[in-house]
Amino acid sequence: MSLPVSPRRKFLRTCAAGAAAASWAQTERARPNILYIHSHDTGRYLQPYGHAVPAPNLQRLAEGGVIFRKAFNAAPTCSPSRASLLTGMCPHSNGMFGLAHRGFALNDYKQHILHTLRGAGYYSALLGLQHIARDAAAIGYDKVMPFPGNHVEDVAPAAAEFLRGSHAAPFFLDVGFFETHREFRKPGPKEDARYSIPPAPIPDTAETRADMAAFKASARVMDEGVGVVLEALEAAGLSGNTLVISTTDHGIPFPAMKCNLTDHGMGVSLIMRGPGGFAGGPGFSGGKVNDAMVSHLDLFPTICELANIEKPGRLQGTSLMPLIRGERKEVHEEIFAEVNYHAAYEPARAVRTHRWKYIRRFDGRTHPNLPNCDDGFSKTYWLENGWRERTVDAEQLFDLVFDPNETRNQASDPQARAALAEMRGRLERWMRATNDPLLHGPIEAPKGATANDPEGTSPNEPPKVIG
């Protein structure tokens, strides 16, 4: 039999419940919102990294936050790169061996960061490009808004509208732009090809300058979209408690860049701004430059630490917070990356230290895998000058101090014998520690997956079912 509750006791219970609710609300408010805003195929060819590619909104973001000068992906290909960032696991661990629209998928979409954040009370929304699932519904976002083409003109206003809305819980907002993927935008007056210069691996010709001018036009549009989103964040009063993560998937879509394991493919822009030492408002010191080697794999554990959330044990990255707090100058002695399937199968692995880069190819090919390079003026120029007949070494070793563009292979140089042995050992230990299936032979594609013939020329040639 229940006893009647006195008015005083009822009042005390109500107060206790209210205090508990207030305490919970305060905890939720203390957790930062996460704004993950990403472009497609941009590398580091942007103004904040010193390149003649104007990006004033990203420049302002860098001046108010932290720019990582040596940030790398876990794979210089579209779906594997994004999947690794969002799961905190390398492609051969999370299962994303190739492109989502060609039939590849994660082993378990519950490993996506949104599910860890959801357990801590986060609301998740995807606006625009995702590229890790054929059907975005498989990922598990609370809200999904895809757009035809996922171009800036549609995605940025939708993200701004989301930010202007009411938010009862902290949010993880994933904003994906198609730009700067090919086909590029038409150059305007600010992208005059006569006064452009192509990226480092590409010769300076009229054709390649026109190619770069078009890339700059796409970068301008992408940056304008970033500006729309960041202005809405500011206007909504959310910037003080929002961690902004601006990055891209891999290098730009030119020969020897995207889909390559040199820094031209692995290197990515990474600019972060927000609470916890990432600057971003009054009382914070912004404009920090960090030269530590960091990986996309590090973002998942960083978010967990910043939001005071227990991180899953499967994560393969390291929190960046010791760098931000000034406790350490480095969190990695080495960075790893891989290629499996892109348009065509091209299995390769790489390890990078501050001094050396080692790349090993596992397909036995001795010539370029041309379908894995997007079509464009620069590719056509290379093809017309005999690119197909160029040889490709199975092992490559580059001294990043004296050869930062990775053009002189020292794998057969007797003076680099010790460095070669060391880097081989680093790569083999990682492959064994992560149970890389490539150690046991070629990687099979999932049922129904498609790929191009490596002996072909273009990714736009009809692919074949290989799984």
Confidence band for 89, pLDDT divided at 50, 70 and 90: very high
Cα separation, 387 vs 76, in Å, equals 21
Residue 435 CB coordination number (10 Å) = 10
Mean per-residue pLDDT of the chain:
93
Mean pLDDT confidence for 120-134: 98
Q: What confidence score (pLDDT) does residue 360 get?
A: 98
Cα separation, 68 vs 295, in Å, equals 10
Confidence band for 156, pLDDT divided at 50, 70 and 90: very high
Distance of CA 102 to the CA centre of its chain: 19
Cα separation, 306 vs 276, in Å, equals 7
pLDDT value at 200 more than 60: yes
> Which sign does the torsion angle of CA 204, 219, 181, 71 carry?
positive
Name the 3-class secondary structure at 124.
strand
Indicate the angle between helix axes 206-235 and 56-63, nearest 10 degrees: 50
| pLDDT tens profile 281-293 | 444 456 899 999 9
Q: What confidence score (pLDDT) does residue 75 get?
A: 98
Spatial contact of 48 and 62, defined as CB atoms under 8 Å apart: yes
Q: What confidence score (pLDDT) does residue 17 get?
A: 40
Confidence band for 85, pLDDT divided at 50, 70 and 90: very high
Residues 138, 158, 86: CA angle, nearest 5 degrees:
40
What is the distance in angstroms between the CA of the first residue and the CA of the last residue of the chain? Answer: 67
Mean pLDDT confidence for 323-352: 98
Mean pLDDT confidence for 162-180: 97
Q: What confidence score (pLDDT) does residue 202 get?
A: 97
pLDDT value at 9 more than 60: no
Confidence band for 50, pLDDT divided at 50, 70 and 90: very high
Please name every residue paired with 191 in a beta bridge, in sequence order, or none if there are none. Answer: none
Percent of the chain topping pLDDT 90 = 92
Mean pLDDT confidence for 328-356: 98
Q: What confidence score (pLDDT) does residue 442 get?
A: 97
> 4 or 138: whose pLDDT is higher?
138
**Burial group, residue 124, by CB count within 10 angstroms (0-12, 13-18, 19+):** buried
This prediction has a pTM of 0.92
Cα separation, 211 vs 376, in Å, equals 7
Q: What confidence score (pLDDT) does residue 169 get?
A: 95
Residues 240, 328, 42: CA angle, nearest 5 degrees:
60
Percent of the chain topping pLDDT 70 = 92
Reading the block at residue 90, the tokens are: 């390398």
Reading the block at residue 166, the tokens are: 């009411």
Please name every residue paired with 345 in a beta bridge, in sequence order, or none if there are none. Answer: 341
pLDDT value at 298 more than 60: yes
| pLDDT tens profile 421-459 | 999 999 999 999 999 999 999 999 999 999 999 999 999
Q: What confidence score (pLDDT) does residue 121 get?
A: 97
b/e burial code for range 223-246 (CB count within 10 A of at least 16 → b): bbbbbbbbebbeebebbbbbbbbb
Residues 224, 227, 231: CA angle, nearest 5 degrees:
150
Q: What confidence score (pLDDT) does residue 286 get?
A: 61
| pLDDT tens profile 11-39 | 334 444 443 333 333 344 479 999 999 99
Cα separation, 18 vs 1, in Å, equals 27
Mean pLDDT confidence for 136-152: 97
Reading the block at residue 375, the tokens are: 């079509």
pLDDT value at 395 more than 90: yes
